[in-house]
Amino acid sequence: MKRRSQLVLIASALVLAAAIAFVLRPSRIPVQTVAIQSGPLQEIVEEEGKTRMHDHFVVASTVNGRLRRVMLDAGDTVHTGEILAWIDPAPIDPRQTAVLEARLNSARAAEDQAQALAARARADAAQAKQDLARSRSLVQQGIISREAFDKAGTASELAGKQLQAAESAALSAAYQVEEAKAALLVQQSDNAQLPTALIAPADGRILRLIEQSEHIVAPGTPILEIGYTPRLEIVTDFLTRDAVRIRPGMSAVLTDWGGDTPIPAIVRTIEPGAFTKISALGVEEQRVNVICDFTGATHGMEDGYHVETRVIVWQGQDVLRVPSSAVFRSAANWAVFVVNNGKAHKVAVQIGHRGEIDWEVVDGLQPGDHVIVHPGAEVDEAIRVQESLNRD
């Protein structure tokens, strides 16, 4: 009886301990899971860009004078050969005319001097040539030495070189006279007092008026800028580490332009030179411009409009995908938590291409595996979980 009482007491203690352990055991941690499956995946690089007219023309003043008020406005359409503005040339300056006349007289005097020197050199060359012929006859007769004949030859050759130099100087002086005449002719020309028209070099729209009010302008002063509307492109500065993955012909999509529908585009070129740009955080970044073309309608956009450029650098149709929110770092590897029999197990995975939401799984998972998304700090190896499967 005593032994039986002891057994009953021990059994009761075991049952009580089991009941306490069952009551005190940790409850299942609620987690959200998704089932791994295959599907399409795109890897995208994205930056802010803006539209730009491919052809820009800056119309500048061709004369020194007073610009009349430009009667056009930014956005106006212009056609090739159309008059854009008028410039009234500055009146003739008497002082400048006197300076040009003096320059012409000086050039003529220099030409007379050069002609006289050339005539003298011509006479010296002729005389040296006659002396050489006479010396040749005398040396053959033995009247003069060979040395004297050689000196006559050298003198004749030197006189010929001096004649060439004198004739070149005379030709240069003649050109200077023509230059001075041309400058004075422009200054005194009646046409110099006629208004000069600024002509549109191509069809397009006026992008901006650099000068509009009436005032004095110098030759080369920019007046307005014209853009060729049909050729609209997109320029986006990407980080160089992203730009090296972009190739001409890649597909692109324009978003955040003001409409609901993404606009398709295509990469045309990557500019060869990078530049330094300061980010919003004050960090120096090396960037390079990537130029894209519209493949369809521009939806009313013009020069300088903001867009978000998304270039598709890689895409696949049957890719095993895992949500990026399920992947975390474990030492030097990537890992996920897989739910099996109500428990979480950490599994190392190898990641390939990375999309915006999903990443490619190269190794470590199989289609149908349930992985935990957004695993918290309480999730650990072999811990019991209560999964809520997301079937989207």
Q: Are residues 326 and 182 in the same domain?
A: no
The structural domain count of the chain equals: 4
195: in domain: no
Question: Do 206 and 239 have their domain in common?
Answer: no
The encoded tokens of residue 127 equal: 């005389």
15 within domain boundaries: no
Q: Supply the range of the domain harboring residue 327.
A: 27-41+317-390
Neighbour tally for 295: CB within 10 Å: 11
- Mean pLDDT (whole number) for 61-76: 88
Domain end, chosen from 274, 297, 316, is at: 316
* 182 and 269 housed in the same domain: no
Q: Does residue 343 sit in the same domain as residue 285?
A: no
- Same domain membership, residue 141 and residue 123: yes
- Per DSSP bridges, beta strands 306-323 and 37-53 are antiparallel
Considering the domain architecture, whether residues 151 and 234 belong to the same structural domain is answered as no
Q: What is the tens place of the pLDDT at every residue in 82-116?
A: 999 999 887 766 777 788 788 888 888 888 988 88
Radius of gyration of the chain from Cα atoms? 45
- What average pLDDT score do residues 244-252 get? 95
Both tokens assigned to 117: 């020197």
pLDDT at position 351 is 94
CATH of the domain at 308: 2.40.30.170
Q: Quote the distance between the C-alpha of residue 7 and its chain's center.
A: 90
Pick the last residue of a domain from 300, 316, 332.
316
What does the pLDDT average to over 377-383? 87
Chosen domain end from 316, 339, 354: 316
Q: Does the pLDDT at position 263 exceed 80?
A: yes
Which residue's structure tokens are 């998972």?
365
Are 131 and 158 in contact by the 8 Å Cβ rule? The answer is: no
Q: What is the pLDDT of residue 3?
A: 66
**Average pLDDT value for residue range 201-206:** 87
16 pLDDT above the threshold of 70: no
Confidence of residue 24 (pLDDT cuts 50, 70, 90): low
Same domain, yes or no: 178 and 135: yes
Share of the chain above pLDDT 90, in %: 42
pLDDT of 277 reads 92
In 3D, which of 216, 188, 182 has the Cα closest to residue 63?
Answer: 216
Asked whether residue 367 is domain-assigned, the answer is yes
pLDDT band of residue 1 (cuts 50, 70, 90) is: low
Choice among 39-53, 96-110, 301-315 with the minimum mean pLDDT: 96-110
> pLDDT class for 7, splitting at 50, 70, 90?
low
Residue 190's pLDDT is what?
A: 47
Q: Are residues 102 and 115 in the same domain?
A: yes
The pLDDT, as a whole number, for residue 44 is: 93
Q: 218 and 255: one domain?
A: no
- Domain with residue 215: its CATH number is 2.40.50.100
Residue 122 within a domain = yes
Q: Which has the closest alpha carbon to 173: 103, 240, 115?
A: 115
Give the 3-state secondary structure of the chain.
Answer: CHHHHHHHHHHHHHHHHHHHHHHHCCCCEEEEEEECEEEEEEEEEEEEEEEEECCEEEEECCCCEEECCCCCCCCCEECCCCEEEEEEECCCCHHHHHHHHHHHHHHHHHHHHHHHHHHHHHHHHHHHHHHHHHHHHHHHHCCCCHHHHHHHHHHHHHHHHHHHHHHHHHHHHHHHHHHHHHHHHHHHCHHHHCCEEEECCCCEEEEEECCCCCEEECCCCEEEEEECCCCEEEEEEEEHHHHCCCCCCCEEEEECCCCCCCEEEEEEEECCCCEEEECCCCCEEEEEEEEEEECCCCCCCCCCCEEEEEEEEEEEEEEEEEEHHHCEEECCEEEEEEEECCEEEEEEEEEEEECCCEEEEEECCCCCCEEEECCCCCCCCCCEEEEEEECC
Residue 112 lies in a domain: yes
Judge whether 17 lies within some domain: no
Residues 36 and 77 in one domain: no
pLDDT on residue 2 = 59
Statement: residue 194 has pLDDT above 50: yes
pLDDT (tens digit per residue) in 137-175: 887 877 878 888 778 788 888 888 888 888 888 888 888
Rounded mean pLDDT of the chain? 86
| pLDDT at residue 146 in the model | 80
Determine which of 18-22, 166-170, 327-331, 378-382 has the lowest per-residue pLDDT on average. 18-22
Greater confidence, 210 or 99?
210
Residue 5 falls within a domain, yes or no?
no
Question: Sorting pLDDT into bands at 50, 70 and 90, what band is 352?
Answer: very high
Q: What does the alpha-carbon distance between residue 302 and residue 13 come to, in Å, rounded to a whole number?
A: 85
The verdict on residue 16 lying in a domain is: no
Contacts of 95 (CB under 8 A, 6+ apart): none
Q: How many CB atoms lie within 10 A of CB 234?
A: 25
10 Å Cβ neighbour count for 328?
Answer: 13
CATH number of the domain where residue 32 is located: 2.40.420.20
294 shares its domain with 321: no
Report residue 62's pLDDT band, with 50, 70 and 90 as the boundaries: confident
Whether residue 279 is found in the same domain as residue 309: yes
